[in-house]
Amino acid sequence: MRITIAIFAALALTGAAHAVSVWDLQAKCGDDAKAYCKGVGYGDAMQECLNKYKKQLSAPCKLLVDRINGGEKVSLF
């Protein structure tokens, strides 16, 4: 679980009015990240990997990936 949190914490950017919480990402995309993106790295590499496997992702994870692709930042808060 620490690795999954670290993966999404590396994506974290602050200062956005609308942001995806790193905690939401861990809760909704953690299993998908482990299944499809293990070992790919952090930040952009993780986002690219999740996009690559978007059809296989769970519905809640797809929604968050879409929000990030739409320009929302990832925030620790």
Q: Which domain holds residue 29?
A: 2-75
Q: What is the mean pLDDT of residues 14-30?
A: 78
Q: Phi and psi for 58 in degrees, rounded to 5?
A: -65, 155
- pLDDT surpasses 80 at 19: yes
- pLDDT surpasses 80 at 54: yes
Sign of CA dihedral 62, 49, 36, 4: negative
Q: Considering its fold, how many domains does the chain have in total? A: 1
Token reading at 70? 């739409």
Q: What is the mean pLDDT of residues 2-10?
A: 59
Quote the pLDDT of residue 69: 93
Quote the pLDDT of residue 33: 94
Distance CA 13, CA 32 (A): 21
The confidence band for 50, taking pLDDT boundaries of 50, 70 and 90, is very high
Distance CA 45, CA 39 (A): 10
Whole-model pTM? Answer: 0.74
